[in-house]
Chains A and B, each alone.
Chain A
Amino acid sequence: MTGTVRVTDVTKEYGQVKAVRGASFELGQGELVALIGHNGAGKTTLMKLMLGLIRPTGGSIEVLGDNPAAGEFSGRRRLGYLPENVSFDAALTGRETQAFYARLKREPIAKALELLDTVGLGVAAGRRVGTYSKGMRQRLGLAQALIGHPKVLLLDEPTTGLDPELRQTFYEIIARLAAQGATVLLSSHSLTELEERAGRVIIMNRGVKVADGSIERLRNIAQLPTRIRLKVAGLSPAELPPWLPSGATCRRLNGHIVEIDAAPDRKIELLHCATAAGNSVEDVDVVQPTLDELYVHFLGQAEVTS
C-alpha cells in the first residue's frame, strides 16, 4: 500500500480556536475512508489543509508528493475535490463550466463532458448554472471532481442534496475509482450510508482524531454489545424468558420480541441458550452495533478523557 495523503501531527489554529489539534494519519491507494465528526470537528479544515487553501500552524502534510502548504500543486491534476457548499459562476452553463475545469486539468474536454451524463445532468448541461437547483449543483460538483481519473478524491458532504437513486450511482462510481486504486476521503453525516461502504473510518472530535480503523476494528475496541433479538412464542408482555443467564441485560420490544444486549465474547453463549431445545424461539436477529452507535461511543469517550 502506497500512501497518497500523509498528515503528520497537524495543528491548525484560527486565533484562539483550535480547529485541528495534532492529527496524524496516512491514506493509502484504493482506500475508501469516511471522515466523520460533528460540525466544527475539523473535517473541512483537514481537507482545506490538504489542498493548501490554508496553511497548518504546526505539522506537515503531503498530498501526492506535494507539500500543499508551500504552494506546490503539480499533483493536483490527479486530485478531485468537492467542497461542502459547492458553487459555480452563475453566468456559465454546466457544460461550459465542466469544459473550463477540464482545461485547467489538461484533460480531454469530450471525456469530461461525458461525466455530466454519468451524474445525470444530461439535459440541464446546456442551461446556466444560475438556474440550477441545489441537487443539480451537487451533481455538477461531482462531475468536476471526477475529471481525469483522480488518484485522490476529497469529498466534503458529497451526498447532501442528492436523491436516493443518484446516491446509489455516486457510491458505485467512487467504489469503482477506489477499486482502481484511488484514495477516497469523504466526510458525511449520514453514517448509515457509509457503514457498508467505507473500509476505514476516522472519527474527529473538536479537532482531535479520536478513532481510526475499519468498522470491525472499531467495534472490537469499543466493545459495544451486539443486540440479539428473539421472537419468542407464548410469553406474556411483561415476562422474560426463563432460560436467560443471569446478568444479561434485556428488554421487551413490541409484544413478543425480546432484545438482549450481548457483549462480544458472550454472543455465542447467548445464542446457544436461545436456540437450545425446548425453547419457544421462533426467530433470531443479530444486530451489530451501527456506525452511529460507534460514533456516539467514541465521542463520549473523548469527552471523558479530555
Chain B
Amino acid sequence: MNVPIIAAKEIHQAIRNRWVLAATLLLAGLALSLTFLGSAPTGSVGVRALDVVIVSLSSLTIFLVPLIALLISHDAIVGDMERGTMLLLLSYPVARWQVLIGKFLGHLAVLGFATCFGYGVAVGALAATGSRIDLDSLLAFAAMIGSSVLLGAVFVAIGYLVSALVRDRGTAAGVSIGLWLLLVLIYDMALLGLLALDQGRHISAVALNAMLLLNPTDVYRLFNLTGFANVSTFAGMAGLAQSSSLSVQALLSALTLWTLVPLGLAAIAFARREL
C-alpha cells in the first residue's frame, strides 16, 4: 500500500516539474526527426521504413534513455536526504525498501510514458504519411519500445545504487556521468580495440558473449539489432547475429538482472544508511 502511494507522488512531482513533458518532447522530437531525415538514404519508397527507424532509433536510445534515467534517479536518495525531505518521510510508517520501490515504479512510469508516447508518435507519423507498415515491423518496434523501457529501468536502478552510496548530490551526478560514459561509449570502444588486437586468437565466442552481457547497453543493442531478421539486415549486424548464440530470452533476462541486482544493492545500501 505504501509503495503505490509513494510511486503516485513521484509521478505527480515529475508532472509538476515538467520532467514528463521534457522527456516526452525530447524523445518524440528525436523519433520524428529520425523518421523523416533517417529515411532519406533509403528514399521515401523504402519498403520497410519502420525497420530503418528501429535501427537508427535504437542506436540513439542507447545514448539518450540511460542519460534521462540517470538524470532522474541519481538524485533520488542522496538528493532527498540533502533537501531534508527523506528525514520526514522516514519518520512515517514506511519501510525504506518501500520508499525505494515506490520511487522506482514512479520513475519507471515516467520513463515508460515518455518512451511509449515519444516513439509512438514516430509510428503514427509514418502511418499518416502513407508508409506501408506490416505486422513484423510493428512487433519489432513494440519490442524496441519495451526494451528501451527496460534499459531505462536498468539505469534508474544503477542511479539509485549510486545515490544510496555516495555522500552528496554532486558526487552522485559525477559518478553517474562517469558510468554513463563508461557503459555507453568507452566500454564498446575498448571491446572493439581488444577484438581488433586479438584478431580472434584468444577471445572465444563465449568470452565475447560474456563481455557483451556485462554491459546492459550492449545487451540492448543485441536484442534490437539482431533479434528481428529484417532489422538485422539493415543494421549490418546479420553477421554478428549469426555468430552470437545469445537467445532473446537470455538477453531479456540479462537486462532484468541488470535491473534487479543494482536495485537490490541500492536497497541494502539505503537500509544501512544513517541520516
Contact = CB atoms under 8 A, between A and B. Distances in A.
Contacts of B93: 73-77, 104-105
A125 to B, nearest CB: 16
A55 interface: yes
Contact of A96 (B12, B91, B96, B271): B12
Interface in B88-123: 88-96
A85 interface: yes
A89 B75 CA distance: 13
Contacts of A75: 93
Contact of A51 (B2, B16, B85, B90): B90
Given A53-B274, A104-B5, A89 B13 contact: yes
Interface string B80-92: 0001110111111
A141 B87 CA distance: 12
Given A55-B274, A103-B5, A104-B2, A87 B94 contact: no
A84 to B, nearest CB: 9
Contact of B84 (A48, A85, A91, A144): A85
B91 A76 contact: yes
B242 interface: no
A285 B221 CA distance: 87
Nearest to B2: A104
12 contacts: A48-B275, A53-B274, A76-B93, A77-B93, A81-B91, A89-B85, A91-B13, A91-B16, A92-B12, A92-B16, A104-B89, A104-B94
Contacts of A103: 5
B164 to A, nearest CB: 15
A53 B94 CA distance: 12
B94 A81 contact: no
B84 A73 contact: no
Interface residues of B, number: 24
A52 B91 CA distance: 8
Given A73-B93, A76-B93, A104-B5, A81 B274 contact: no
Interface residues of A, number: 33
B84 A86 contact: yes
A283 B154 CA distance: 80
A298 interface: no
A81 B13 contact: no
Given A74-B93, A79-B91, A81-B91, A87 B271 contact: no
A91 B11 CA distance: 11
- Residue from B87, B89, B91 whose CB has the most chain A CB atoms within 10 Å: B91
Interface in B62-90: 83-85, 87-90
A144 B91 CA distance: 11
Contacts of A104: 2, 5, 89, 92-94
Interface in A158-176: none
A100 interface: yes
Interface in A270-299: none
Given A83-B88, A91-B16, A100-B5, 10 more contacts: A51-B90, A54-B274, A54-B275, A77-B93, A86-B88, A91-B17, A92-B9, A100-B9, A104-B2, A104-B93
Interface string B230-260: 0000000000000000000000000000000
A53 B275 CA distance: 6
Contact of A53 (B2, B12, B90): B90
Contact of A71 (B16, B84, B92, B271): B271
A83 B92 contact: no
B85 A88 contact: yes
A193 to B, nearest CB: 24
B92 A76 contact: yes
A263 to B, nearest CB: 45
A30 B9 CA distance: 35
Contacts of B84: 83, 85-87
A101 interface: yes
- Residue from A96, A104, A141 whose CB has the most chain B CB atoms within 10 Å: A104
